């Protein structure tokens, strides 16, 4: 590998490492100084409430790395929940319902994918449209109803913890999913193709990569994970309403961007994205515990987001300046390792 | 020779991975066993009201308790007034007050998060106005099992997720009286419409149910409810919904808006349009918001309760619960300072009293 | 020799007028859809286009038109400004706060515009200096401005009773069916369109959005243009905030929340593509008018408000899909014409 200015300085200027470090520091500080933070109950709250964002951040990271974005995820979560509520009221078996919701998610992802790949439309505009469309359909489907009487053992799965620990039951499937995602993105040819597509779509196509198919599979994966998250959301909060998860997409995008995934495509790691998700989640948890108002939390989120893009640029500028001084040649390479 | 990447495998891997998630999940689910709505038992969880420990009416009122107010939305003037009322009561009793909440009235996940935080902080009691009747239940039940007393005010949750509900006025009183008010103004004839808040709002839907029931009475035979519009407690949406109502039903005579945001928007629209004075508006609004419209005749009368008093009562109830004087069972009574003594009704509901009607004659006396 | 030169000249002209026609066609298309929709609604419900009805349609659209015009300029330079909703909220309250304290309404308008412009400078500098994706930066400033607004406003609110009656009546009065707010918006629209078309710095925005590297190489001061676009967008969002206050007679900490996505939808429906360098502010204004009209049309014909959001989303998807299909067709047409011209040349 050619000289990588980031590596030269021990990786300290890589933003995802910074985010990971910030997370560790925050957790350590909170354990020591915030009395109500460091117990099993609170940690389980933190993880449980962050799980939806953490789940969707996995495919979203890959999507952003390939140069696209999906703002319809929150509405897919809501639509999946609404369909779940309606079918449950109609008396369908719960397992059947969950499978239907999964299929629904695939369809939602397909719509986005086809509009972006077949018609060549910008994903930002398309997913703003599908965001409104899916939410609207959720409203038509479920209306003003709120469905809460799901089977108790499923509800327990949605909000329970593994006996005696701080780990929510639902964290296990998420860990499996995260491991799968990390392997696919960072250790397979497919993952490398994703980064290649993000770095330059044209070059990737000329190199023989099936750009359209890659993007299609990413959108479909995002839709599927979103609808499954919708099912989890309903079970976790024991409530299916049409406006579940309104605004979730911005939180996911903010967390992924905070984790150093480059919006221009072609750079980023899942480790960074996951660290970004939990950094934001932990910050909100801790700030609430020390009675910082919701409004101030919003300001902090915004500042972090701005720093997350200015930071790496500033770091790169300083690295380049230093390198220029010592007269070395720089060749940027795409990051393809995690953590 | 064109270079070929390993095309088939990565895609196949991706497809397999994606496809694997589904069956994996299904496999896990089938292990849990299926269920349908009809086959599940009725809510197995024990009712929170009046369970276990018995009340001791003569127990001394504890001091130094922390009671947290968690409204539907912070920075909402209505809730600020109610929560300040709670603060006044708590300070008088020697307890500590705190207020937390989300900035949006439709952020149920955020509200649940706050319940979790308060449980963590081991507050003595939570007074919450719920955005959604079911979403908070798991968190509230967890709070109660950790010894935190839960009182809802303004907007209720399912009955088994809290110990008491402080109701501003009986839902029935509110619904029926608003229809009566409009009926009188319209001489009991004409088309009317309702401009509500969010489609899922518990309190509005309950009131609307009573309104529809009241309209079935014989004296309202000539009044017809033509539409219920939803303004989502957003100014612009409520505005446009009002316009829509008037365009769809040009002979509309009256509108009931049982939400302070909706009535304000509807009044503002009517005030600036050709319908001013021709279409009568009533509903729930605060005196300060409505003063301008009452004075220029756009609105003749509207009603509300005093949100500050509501908050006070919620505070007293929370303290009484935390001191062990009541457990939330029907028939128990508790003292609420200068407000008097209150009796707990069925399903743990405590009613503040009758709504107050505001019109030109008395609006000057109020400042909230 | 002249025989071979002429066909080239003849071939060049038709393609230019074709392109012109296409551009105008895009705005025309929205206009046609709008007129058809309104006509259909009027046929179904005779009260729809009454004097009050028309005035309402125009008033509803005004605020969105103003913000959409500003946003369109930013999108033309291949950026996006997501903080417009938060800016609208802050300026609406700032204007109200000033009037409530006994200030002159005209000065309140100025304050709103200046505050908006200041936030525009902030965005423009961050995007220009950091050269970072405007999506991320303005997402961040969306949060920051909203948070600061909430902290500043707290639980205060501005109600109609606290505003001078002149200010409020400006918000809904007009000349017959044309509201004053509508006239103001039209003036702004024409001014910005004129600037973009007839001033060099305006045309440079298009160049910059179409191909940033080429524009920079051609000597376009890219950072300055981007900064200018964001300042204009912020100022217009500020003006819209003051108008919002006049129209609705109300402002609090949650004013304008979520507005940014409506604005972006209007701009996209209006034909201003995210790839930059295309579209016009007239298109954005028509897109805004179309979107707000739908929200009035549906209730007027009795469609439940439950359908509004779904229809908005599908409309947006249709608009951009149609755009794309037309663009592909036109490109194909142009290629064929060029080929024909070349073969006529050699034939």
Express each pLDDT in C207-266 by its tens digit: 998 888 899 899 989 889 999 999 999 999 999 999 999 888 888 888 888 888 889 989
pLDDT computed for residue B43 by the predictor: 38
Pick from C283, C267, C27, C323: nearest CA to A121: C323
Q: Does B96 touch chain A (CB under 8 A)?
A: no
- Phi/psi of residue B282, nearest 5 degrees: -145, 175
Query: What does the alpha-carbon distance between residue A247 and residue A109 come to, in Å, rounded to a whole number?
Result: 18
pLDDT computed for residue B46 by the predictor: 38
Q: Which chains touch A (3 or more CB pairs under 8 A)?
A: B, C
Strand pairing partners for B227? B193
Number of Cβ within a 10 Å radius of residue B122 = 13
Among the partner-chain residues A124, A128, A310, the one whose CB lies closest to the CB of C130 is: A310
> Average pLDDT, stretch C94-119?
91
Q: Which residues in chain C have their CB less than 8 angstroms from residue B76's CB?
A: 155, 252
Is the residue at A332 inside a domain? no
Q: Which chains touch C (3 or more CB pairs under 8 A)?
A: A, B
Tell me the count of A-B CB pairs closer than 8 A.
183
Q: Which residues in chain B have their CB less than 8 angstroms from residue C52's CB?
A: 273-275
**Best to test chain A binding among C89, C130, C331 (most A CBs inside 10 Å):** C130
pLDDT computed for residue B360 by the predictor: 87
Three-state SS sequence of chain A: CCCCHHHHCCCCCCHHHHHHHHHHHHHHHHHHHCCCCCCHHHHHHHHHHHHHHHHHHHHHHHHHHCCCCCCCHHHHHHHHHHHHHHHHHCCCCHHHHHHHHHHHHHHHHHHHHHHHHCCCCCHHHHHHHHHHHHHHHHHHHHCCCCECCCCHHHHHHHHCECCCCCCECCHHHHHHHHHHHHHHHHHCHHHHHHHHHHHCHHHHHHCCCCHHHHHHHHHHHHHHHHHHHHHHHHHHHCCECCCCCCCHHHHHHHHHHHCCCCCCCCCCCHHHHHHHHHHHHHHHHHHHHCCCCHHHHHHHHHHHHHHHHHHHHHHHHHHHHHHHHCCCCCCCCCCCCCC
Q: Does B14 touch chain A (CB under 8 A)?
A: yes
Q: Which residues in chain C have their CB less than 8 angstroms from residue A125's CB?
A: 264, 268, 273-274, 316, 320
Query: What does the alpha-carbon distance between residue A277 and residue B292 come to, in Å, rounded to a whole number?
Result: 47
The distance of B301 to chain C (nearest Cα, Å) reads: 17
Kindly report, residue by residue over A119-154, the tens digit of the pLDDT: 888 888 899 899 999 999 998 998 777 788 888 888
Strand pairing partners for B191? B224, B252
Assess whether pLDDT exceeds 70 at residue B15: no
Among the partner-chain residues A95, A143, A208, the one whose CB lies closest to the CB of B5 is: A208
Flag if A135 and C313 touch (Cβ within 8 Å).
Answer: yes
**Best to test chain A binding among C78, C80, C138, C320 (most A CBs inside 10 Å):** C320
Both tokens of residue A248?
């979730």
Among the partner-chain residues C154, C155, C250, the one whose CB lies closest to the CB of B264 is: C250
Tell me the domain boundaries of chain C.
2-346
In Å, the largest CA–CA distance within chain C is 80
Among the partner-chain residues B79, B103, B240, the one whose CB lies closest to the CB of C254 is: B103
Instruction: Provide CB contacts within 8 A for B333, sequence distance 6+.
Output: B57, B326, B341, B342, B343, B344
Q: Which residue of A has its CA nearest to B134?
A: A239
Residue carrying structure tokens 């993880």: A47
Q: Which residue of C has its CA nearest to B286?
A: C159
pLDDT computed for residue C122 by the predictor: 93
Flag if A306 and C325 touch (Cβ within 8 Å).
Answer: no
Assess whether pLDDT exceeds 90 at residue C66: yes
DSSP state of C307: G
Assess whether pLDDT exceeds 90 at residue C111: yes
Q: Which residues in chain A have their CB less than 8 angstroms from residue C275's CB?
A: 122
Kindly report, residue by residue over A39-98, the tens digit of the pLDDT: 888 888 889 889 999 999 999 999 999 989 999 999 999 999 999 999 998 888 889 999
Domain of residue A107, CATH code: 1.10.3470
Among the partner-chain residues C131, C275, C306, the one whose CB lies closest to the CB of A143 is: C306
* Complex prediction ipTM: 0.80
Taking the CA atoms of chain B, what radius of gyration do you get in angstroms? 25
pLDDT-above-90 percentage for chain A: 38
**Best to test chain A binding among B6, B9, B42, B113 (most A CBs inside 10 Å):** B113
DSSP state of B323: T
Query: What does the alpha-carbon distance between residue B52 and residue A316 come to, in Å, rounded to a whole number?
Result: 64
Parallel, antiparallel, or unpaired: how do β-strands B149-153 and B190-196 relate? unpaired
What is the number of structural domains in chain A?
1
Q: Which residue of C has its CA nearest to A294?
A: C147
Alpha-carbon distances of A277 from A12, A253, A260, C193, rounded to whole Å: 20, 10, 11, 42
Q: Which residues in chain C have their CB less than 8 angstroms from residue B274's CB?
A: 51-52
Query: What does the alpha-carbon distance between residue C51 and residue C58 come to, in Å, rounded to a whole number?
Result: 11
DSSP state of B332: -
Both tokens of residue A27?
């957790």
Flag if C172 and B273 touch (Cβ within 8 Å).
Answer: yes
In our burial notation (b when 16+ CB lie closer than 10 A, e otherwise), range C289-323 reads bbbbbbbbbbbbeeeebbebbbbbbbbbbebbbeb
**Best to test chain C binding among A76, A122, A132, A320 (most C CBs inside 10 Å):** A132
Q: What CATH architecture does domain C2-346 belong to? A: Orthogonal Bundle (1.10)
Flag if A246 and B106 touch (Cβ within 8 Å).
Answer: yes
Average confidence score pLDDT of chain C = 84
3-state SS class at B245: helix
Q: Which residues in chain B have their CB less than 8 angstroms from residue C60's CB?
A: 239-240, 243
Among the partner-chain residues B11, B108, B205, the one whose CB lies closest to the CB of A210 is: B11
The distance of C248 to chain B (nearest Cα, Å) reads: 6
Among the partner-chain residues B11, B15, B35, the one whose CB lies closest to the CB of A94 is: B35
Is the residue at A276 inside a domain? yes
Kindly report, residue by residue over B210-244, the tens digit of the pLDDT: 999 999 999 898 999 999 988 888 777 888 888 88
pLDDT computed for residue A273 by the predictor: 92
Kindly report, residue by residue over C311-323, the tens digit of the pLDDT: 888 888 888 888 7
> Average pLDDT, stretch A213-233?
95
Domains for chain B: give ranges and CATH numbers.
66-168+307-353 (3.40.50.2300), 171-304 (3.40.50.2300)
pLDDT computed for residue A35 by the predictor: 77
Instruction: Provide CB contacts within 8 A for A135, sequence distance 6+.
Output: A74, A75, A78, A79, A242, A243, A246, C309, C310, C313
- Phi/psi of residue B334, nearest 5 degrees: -150, 160
Flag if A254 and C143 touch (Cβ within 8 Å).
Answer: yes
DSSP state of B61: P
Flag if B272 and C47 touch (Cβ within 8 Å).
Answer: no
Assess whether pLDDT exceeds 60 at residue C16: no
pLDDT band at A1 (very low <50, low <70, confident <90, very high): very low
Q: Which residues in chain A have their CB less than 8 angstroms from residue C307's CB?
A: 136, 140
Strand pairing partners for B350? B166
Residue carrying structure tokens 């502010």: C281
**Best to test chain B binding among A191, A243, A290 (most B CBs inside 10 Å):** A243
Query: What does the alpha-carbon distance between residue C99 and residue C2 come to, in Å, rounded to a whole number?
Result: 72
Assess whether pLDDT exceeds 60 at residue A195: yes
Is the residue at A338 inside a domain? no
What is the domain extent for residue A41? 5-325
Number of Cβ within a 10 Å radius of residue C213 = 8
Query: What does the alpha-carbon distance between residue A314 and residue B132 come to, in Å, rounded to a whole number?
Result: 45
């Amino acid at each position: 590998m050619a000289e990588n200015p980031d590596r030269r300085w021990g990786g300290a200027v890589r933003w995802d490492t910074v985010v990971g470090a910030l997370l560790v520091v925050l957790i350590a500080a909170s354990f020591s100084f915030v009395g109500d933070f460091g117990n099993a109950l609170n940690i389980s709250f933190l993880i449980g409430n962050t799980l939806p964002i953490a789940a969707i951040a996995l495919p979203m990271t890959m999507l952003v790395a390939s140069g696209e974005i999906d703002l319809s995820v929150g509405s897919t979560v809501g639509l999946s929940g609404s369909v779940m509520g309606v079918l449950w009221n109609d008396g369908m078996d719960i397992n059947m319902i969950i499978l239907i919701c999964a299929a629904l998610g695939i369809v939602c992802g397909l719509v986005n994918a086809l509009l972006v790949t077949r018609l060549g439309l910008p994903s930002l505009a398309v997913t703003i449209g599908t965001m409104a469309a899916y939410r609207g359909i959720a409203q038509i489907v479920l209306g003003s109803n709120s469905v809460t009487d799901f089977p108790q053992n499923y509800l327990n799965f949605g909000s329970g913890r593994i006996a005696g620990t701080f780990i929510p039951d639902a964290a296990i499937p998420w860990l499996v999913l995260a491991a799968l995602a990390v392997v696919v993105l960072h250790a397979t040819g497919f993952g490398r193709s994703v980064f290649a597509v993000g770095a330059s779509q044209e070059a990737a196509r000329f190199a023989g990569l099936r750009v359209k198919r890659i993007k299609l599979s990413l959108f479909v994966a995002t839709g599927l994970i979103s609808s499954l998250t919708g099912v989890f959301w309903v079970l976790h909060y024991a409530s299916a309403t049409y406006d579940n998860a309104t605004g979730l997409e911005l939180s996911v995008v903010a967390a992924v961007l905070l984790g150093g995934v480059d919006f221009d495509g072609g750079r980023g790691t899942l480790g960074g994205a996951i660290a970004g998700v939990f950094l934001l989640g932990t910050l909100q948890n801790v700030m609430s515990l020390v009675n910082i108002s919701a409004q101030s939390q919003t300001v902090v989120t915004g500042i972090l987001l701005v720093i997350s893009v200015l930071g790496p640029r500033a770091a790169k500028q300083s690295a380049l300046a230093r390198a220029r001084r010592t007269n070395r040649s720089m060749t940027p390479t795409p990051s393809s390792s995690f953590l | 020779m064109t270079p070929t990447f390993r095309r088939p495998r990565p895609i196949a891997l991706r497809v397999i991975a994606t496809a694997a998630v589904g069956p994996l999940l299904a496999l896990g689910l089938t292990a849990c066993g299926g269920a349908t709505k009809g086959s599940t038992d009725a809510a197995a969880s024990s009712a929170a009201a009046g369970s276990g420990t018995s009340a001791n009416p003569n127990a001394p009122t504890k001091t130094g308790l922390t009671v947290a107010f968690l409204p539907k939305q912070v920075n909402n003037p209505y809730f600020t007034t109610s929560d300040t009322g709670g603060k006044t009561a708590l300070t008088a009793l020697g307890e500590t007050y705190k207020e937390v909440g989300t900035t949006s009235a439709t952020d149920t996940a955020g509200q649940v998060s706050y319940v979790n935080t308060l449980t963590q902080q081991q507050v003595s009691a939570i007074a919450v106005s719920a955005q959604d009747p079911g979403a908070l239940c798991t968190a509230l039940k967890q709070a109660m099992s950790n010894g935190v007393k839960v009182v809802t005010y303004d907007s209720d949750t399912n009955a088994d997720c809290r110990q008491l509900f402080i109701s501003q006025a009986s839902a029935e009183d509110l619904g029926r009286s608003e229809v009566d008010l409009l009926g009188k103004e319209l001489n009991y004839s004409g088309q009317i419409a309702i401009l509500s808040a969010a489609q899922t709002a518990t309190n509005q839907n309950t009131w609307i149910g009573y309104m529809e029931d009241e309209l079935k009475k014989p004296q309202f035979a000539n009044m017809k409810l033509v539409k219920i519009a939803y303004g989502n407690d957003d100014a612009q949406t409520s505005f446009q919904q009002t316009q829509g109502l008037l365009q769809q039903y040009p002979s509309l005579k009256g509108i009931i808006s049982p939400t302070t945001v909706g009535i304000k928007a509807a009044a503002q629209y009517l005030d600036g349009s050709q319908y001013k004075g021709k279409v009568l508006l009533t509903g729930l609004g605060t005196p300060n918001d409505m003063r301008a419209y009452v004075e220029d005749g756009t609105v003749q009368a509207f009603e509300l309760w005093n949100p500050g008093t509501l908050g006070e009562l919620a505070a007293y109830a929370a303290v009484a619960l935390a001191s062990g004087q009541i457990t939330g069972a029907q028939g128990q009574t508790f003292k609420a300072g200068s407000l008097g003594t209150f009796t707990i009704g069925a399903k743990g509901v405590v009613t503040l009293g009758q709504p107050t009607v505001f019109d030109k004659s008395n609006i000057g006396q109020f400042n909230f | 020799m002249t025989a071979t030169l002429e066909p080239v000249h003849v071939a060049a002209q038709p393609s230019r007028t074709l392109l012109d026609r296409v551009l105008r066609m895009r705005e025309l298309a929205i206009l046609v859809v709008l007129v058809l929709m309104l006509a259909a609604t009027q046929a179904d419900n005779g009260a729809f286009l009454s004097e009050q009805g028309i005035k309402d349609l125009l008033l509803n659209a005004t605020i969105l038109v103003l913000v959409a015009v500003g946003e369109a300029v930013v999108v033309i330079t291949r950026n996006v400004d997501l903080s417009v909703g938060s800016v609208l909220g802050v300026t609406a309250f700032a204007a109200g706060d000033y009037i409530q304290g006994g200030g002159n309404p005209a000065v309140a308008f100025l304050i709103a515009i200046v505050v908006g412009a200041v936030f525009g400078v902030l965005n423009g500098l961050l995007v220009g200096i950091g050269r970072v994706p405007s999506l991320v930066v303005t997402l961040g400033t969306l949060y920051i401005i909203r948070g600061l607004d909430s902290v500043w406003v707290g639980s205060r609110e501005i109600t109609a009773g606290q505003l001078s009656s002149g200010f409020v009546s400006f918000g809904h009065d007009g000349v017959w069916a044309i509201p004053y707010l509508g006239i103001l918006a039209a003036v702004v629209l024409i001014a910005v369109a004129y600037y973009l078309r007839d001033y060099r710095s305006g045309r440079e925005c298009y160049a910059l959005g179409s191909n940033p590297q080429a524009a920079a190489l051609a000597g376009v001061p890219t950072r300055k243009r981007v900064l200018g676009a964001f300042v204009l967008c912020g100022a217009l969002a500020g003006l819209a905030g003051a108008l919002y206050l006049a129209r609705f007679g109300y402002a609090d900490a949650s004013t304008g929340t979520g507005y940014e996505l409506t604005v972006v939808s209007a701009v996209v429906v209006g034909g201003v593509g995210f790839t930059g360098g295309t579209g016009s502010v007239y298109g954005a204004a028509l897109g805004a008018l179309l979107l707000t009209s739908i929200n009035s049309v549906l209730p007027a014909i009795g469609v439940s408000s439950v359908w509004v959001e779904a229809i908005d989303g599908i409309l947006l998807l249709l608009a951009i899909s149609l755009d794309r299909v037309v663009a592909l067709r036109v490109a194909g047409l142009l290629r064929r014409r060029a080929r024909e011209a070349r073969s006529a040349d050699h034939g």
